């Protein structure tokens, strides 16, 4: 065998052996699941006024998923109020937040805009959380409901970018772990009273379009998909966020998908 081919063959065997050793070493460890999302994952309390507040950690859907999956899994909760798929525009704050600094002191803080760009944050989150078996991504609501909101098709492009970021990590930095699987979750639509708010009467249609576009992204990328609207309805008093009961229900449904993905 020519020397270059021999070196290539040896390198290939070594990589395969290293992967086998890595897989064996992790076989007895809990499977690691990352929940990457916005206010629904962050656990924002439904409210019609006041500064954003969070539900207790135990009441949020990542905790419910952890409880349903049990000790053979570790769920890493990375939700951020107002996070988007890939929107860096500082002039477009998260939905339901006043742009007046007197009403909302954080409106012009560094936490707005670019810091909420999910595509900018995800690589670092993945690096810190590795090794990972599944990455659950539920984003898009902040962009669809914000002033001058994006189209469902454009938001789906952002989701596609996020999925590709996960696939490109190849297990993570300085590791031979195989890359994690991905579950794309379409968020449940906000509740809109068309009679009281005619300008947003087409909102339901846009949310349905977003779910359809996300399903297409999942099919294209060969990853899993879940439409949260098939599991829960937005039932908070603000028409935009989930109560603790619905958070629990969503967490259990996502746990079922994750368990099936990790058999």
Token representation of residue 221: 């990328």
Better-scored residue on pLDDT, 104 or 262: 262
Is 246 domain-assigned? yes
Is 12 domain-assigned? no
Q: Evaluate if residue 177 carries a pLDDT over 80.
A: no
Is 124 domain-assigned? yes
Measured distance CA(60)–CA(249) in Å, rounded? 10
Is 24 domain-assigned? no
Token representation of residue 60: 């949020």
Better-scored residue on pLDDT, 3 or 105: 3
* C-beta of residue 160 within 8 angstroms of C-beta of residue 221: yes
What is the total count of domains within the chain? Answer: 1
User: Coil, helix or strand for 45?
Assistant: coil
Domain at 96, CATH number: 3.40.50.1110
Measured distance CA(51)–CA(37) in Å, rounded? 20
Token representation of residue 256: 């079922």
Is 21 domain-assigned? no
Better-scored residue on pLDDT, 250 or 95: 250
- Mean pLDDT over residues 219-224, rounded? 99
Measured distance CA(34)–CA(211) in Å, rounded? 21
Percent of all residues in the chain with a pLDDT value above 70, rounded to a whole number? 73
Q: Evaluate if residue 169 carries a pLDDT over 60.
A: yes
Measured distance CA(254)–CA(100) in Å, rounded? 37
* pLDDT (0 to 100) of residue 170: 76
* pLDDT (0 to 100) of residue 244: 97
Is 14 domain-assigned? no
Domain region containing 132? 29-261
* pLDDT (0 to 100) of residue 19: 42
| Cβ partners under 8 Å of residue 73, min gap 6 | 30, 31, 32, 33, 66, 258, 262
Token representation of residue 66: 């952890």
Better-scored residue on pLDDT, 148 or 47: 47
Which residues are bridge partners to 79 per DSSP? 37
Nearest to 74 by CA among 62, 66, 85: 66
Rounded to two decimals, the pTM is: 0.81
Out of 139-153, 217-231, 249-263, which region has the weakest mean confidence (pLDDT)?
Answer: 139-153
Is 8 domain-assigned? no
* pLDDT (0 to 100) of residue 197: 57
Query: What is the number of other CB atoms lying within 10 angstroms of the CB of residue 260?
Result: 10
Query: What is the number of other CB atoms lying within 10 angstroms of the CB of residue 110?
Result: 9
Is 20 domain-assigned? no
User: What is the band of 171 on the pLDDT scale with cuts at 50, 70, 90?
Assistant: low
């Amino acid at each position: 065998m020519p020397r270059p081919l021999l070196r290539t063959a040896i390198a290939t065997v070594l990589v395969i052996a290293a992967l086998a050793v890595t897989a064996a070493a992790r076989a007895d460890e809990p499977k690691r699941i990352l929940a990457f999302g916005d206010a629904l994952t962050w656990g924002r309390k439904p409210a019609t006024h006041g500064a954003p507040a969070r539900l207790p950690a135990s009441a949020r859907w990542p905790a419910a998923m952890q409880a349903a999956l049990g000790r053979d899994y570790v769920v890493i909760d990375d939700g951020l109020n107002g996070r988007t798929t890939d929107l860096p525009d500082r002039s477009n704050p998260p939905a339901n937040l006043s742009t007046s600094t007197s009403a909302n002191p954080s409106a012009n803080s560094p936490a707005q805009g670019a810091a909420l760009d999910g595509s900018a944050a995800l690589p670092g989150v993945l690096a810190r959380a590795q090794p990972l078996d599944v990455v659950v991504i539920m984003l898009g609501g902040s962009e669809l409901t914000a002033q001058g909101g994006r189209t469902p098709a454009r938001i789906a492009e952002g989701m596609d970018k996020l999925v590709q970021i996960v696939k490109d990590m190849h297990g993570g930095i300085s590791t031979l772990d195989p890359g994690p699987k991905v579950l794309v979750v379409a968020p449940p639509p906000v509740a809109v009273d068309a009679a009281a708010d005619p300008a947003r009467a087409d909102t339901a249609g846009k949310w349905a379009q977003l779910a359809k576009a996300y399903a297409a992204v999942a099919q294209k990328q060969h990853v899993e998909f879940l439409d949260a609207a098939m599991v829960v309805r937005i039932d908070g008093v603000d028409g935009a966020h989930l109560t603790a009961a619905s958070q629990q229900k969503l967490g259990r449904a996502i746990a079922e998908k994750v368990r099936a993905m990790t058999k």
